[in-house]
């Protein structure tokens, strides 16, 4: 079980390597929201998302001889880039297994961060079998995207920073909204805040139709999404919460929040206008919840978890919603 000591240990390993991202706010955004809204800008983290923290934490927790053989991950998104860059900085091989139809820019970026990309055909090849063969042949260690205690511990360092930055901003109580996929970031922050700032309550935010975590929190058991595609918030769509993450969320989180794709795009546009940061839709769902959900307290802190957005999607958000103020 991940606890605060593992997060504190991860914090030491990340010191000087992960970026301490700012807690931003803006008067005109508060005015729009009708409450105080603070944004933990993890889009400014290395590789553009919080995923670098978990990757670095997991890599540095490996025995040196194991790490030296290299790591492997299955991802075409932010986890891929985080693992690739963390491995590059350690000078160890990273193999990222991606579907052959992944966007070319994601393949290119992952390679640019120094990883070897292995493509597979989704229709004819078994990703897990391919990964297992590569791991066995080359002694690679699998870095899971969320269901790994050291990954959760790394993401939990976001929570340690939120606790400190909230105290410095004079915030004594707030809801802390997270962009929630498998729950690694949410679990890490929840553990950190339970130990350091218990008046800050974590609530996961998800896209409508992909609210497995909100439903799992309500029922107390693993609920699944009916489908895995069709949301613009693709970065945070997962089938069901993790085996390790859900028990943590059940213990520490308030009820989940759900936003529409359009609300996520509005949050992207408002972050552009008022915060001058670039968010991907999946990285904007917590901000969307802060802006559009009911039954929130006067002060809300949101993670802005990632900013690796397709330029066409971003331009769409601007063309549809940049007249919001």
- Contact set with a second copy (CB under 8 A): 19, 21-22, 24, 26-28, 31, 41, 43-44, 46, 48, 85, 105, 108-109, 112-113, 269, 272-273, 275-279, 307-308, 311, 314-315, 318-319, 322, 325
Phi and psi angles of residue 133, each rounded to the nearest 5 degrees, phi first: -65, -45
3-class state of residue 10 by DSSP? helix
- Report the nearest approach of a second copy to the CB of residue 149 (Å): 28
- Sheet containing strand 23-24, edge to edge, reads 23-24, 36-41, 299-304, 174-179, 200-207, 257-259
Contact 239, 210 (CB under 8 A): no
Q: Closest CB to a second copy among 78 and 263?
A: 78
3-class state of residue 197 by DSSP? coil
Residues contacting 137, CB < 8 A, separation 6+: none
Q: Closest CB to a second copy among 39 and 244?
A: 39
Phi and psi angles of residue 121, each rounded to the nearest 5 degrees, phi first: -90, 115
Alpha carbon 323 to its chain's center: 28
Q: Closest CB to a second copy among 76 and 109?
A: 109
Q: Closest CB to a second copy among 21 and 178?
A: 21
Q: Closest CB to a second copy among 100 and 108?
A: 108
Q: Closest CB to a second copy among 31 and 138?
A: 31
- Report the nearest approach of a second copy to the CB of residue 302 (Å): 16
- Report the nearest approach of a second copy to the CB of residue 254 (Å): 28
Residues contacting 48, CB < 8 A, separation 6+: 78, 81, 306, 307, 308
3-class state of residue 174 by DSSP? strand
- Report the nearest approach of a second copy to the CB of residue 20 (Å): 8
Contact 284, 231 (CB under 8 A): no
Q: Closest CB to a second copy among 62 and 89?
A: 89
Beta pairing class for 36-41 and 23-24: antiparallel
Residues in the chain: 325
Q: Closest CB to a second copy among 186 and 305?
A: 305
- Report the nearest approach of a second copy to the CB of residue 313 (Å): 10
| Residue showing tokens 């978990």 | 54
Tokens describing residue 285? 């769902």
- Report the nearest approach of a second copy to the CB of residue 31 (Å): 7
- Report the nearest approach of a second copy to the CB of residue 28 (Å): 5
Nearest to 183, CA basis, from 208, 216, 134, 136 = 216
Nearest to 143, CA basis, from 66, 91, 240 = 66
Q: Closest CB to a second copy among 192 and 269?
A: 269
Tokens describing residue 159? 């929570």
């Amino acid at each position: 079980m991940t606890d605060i000591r593992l997060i504190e240990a991860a914090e030491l390993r990340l010191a000087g390597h992960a970026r301490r991202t700012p807690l931003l706010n803006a008067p005109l955004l508060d005015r729009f929201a009708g409450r105080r809204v603070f944004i933990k800008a993890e889009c400014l983290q290395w590789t553009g998302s919080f995923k670098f923290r978990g990757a670095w934490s997991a890599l540095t927790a490996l025995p040196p001889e194991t790490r030296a053989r290299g790591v492997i991950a299955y991802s075409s998104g932010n986890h891929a880039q985080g693992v690739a860059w963390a491995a590059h900085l350690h000078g160890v091989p990273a193999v990222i297994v991606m579907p052959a139809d992944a966007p070319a820019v994601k393949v290119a970026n992952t390679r640019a961060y120094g990883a070897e990309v292995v493509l597979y055909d989704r229709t004819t090849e078994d990703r897990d079998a391919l990964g297992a063969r590569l791991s066995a042949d080359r002694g690679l260690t699998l870095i899971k995207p969320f269901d790994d205690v050291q990954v959760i511990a790394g993401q939990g360092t976001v929570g340690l920073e939120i606790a400190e930055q909230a105290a410095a901003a004079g915030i004594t109580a707030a809801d802390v909204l997270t962009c929630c996929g498998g729950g690694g970031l949410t679990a890490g922050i929840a553990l950190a805040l339970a130990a350091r700032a218990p008046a800050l309550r974590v609530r996961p935010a998800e896209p409508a139709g992909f609210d497995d975590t909100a439903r799992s929190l309500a029922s107390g058991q693993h609920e699944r999404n009916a489908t895995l595609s069709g949301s613009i918030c693709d970065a945070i769509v997962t089938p069901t919460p993790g085996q390790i993450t859900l028990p943590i969320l059940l213990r520490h989180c308030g009820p989940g929040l759900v936003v529409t794709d359009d609300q996520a795009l509005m949050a992207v546009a408002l972050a552009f206008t008022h915060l001058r940061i670039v968010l991907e839709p999946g990285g904007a769902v917590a901000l969307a919840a802060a802006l559009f959900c009911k039954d929130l307290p006067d002060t809300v802190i949101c993670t802005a978890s990632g900013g690796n957005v397709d330029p066409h999607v971003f331009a769409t958000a601007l063309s549809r919603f940049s007249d919001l103020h």
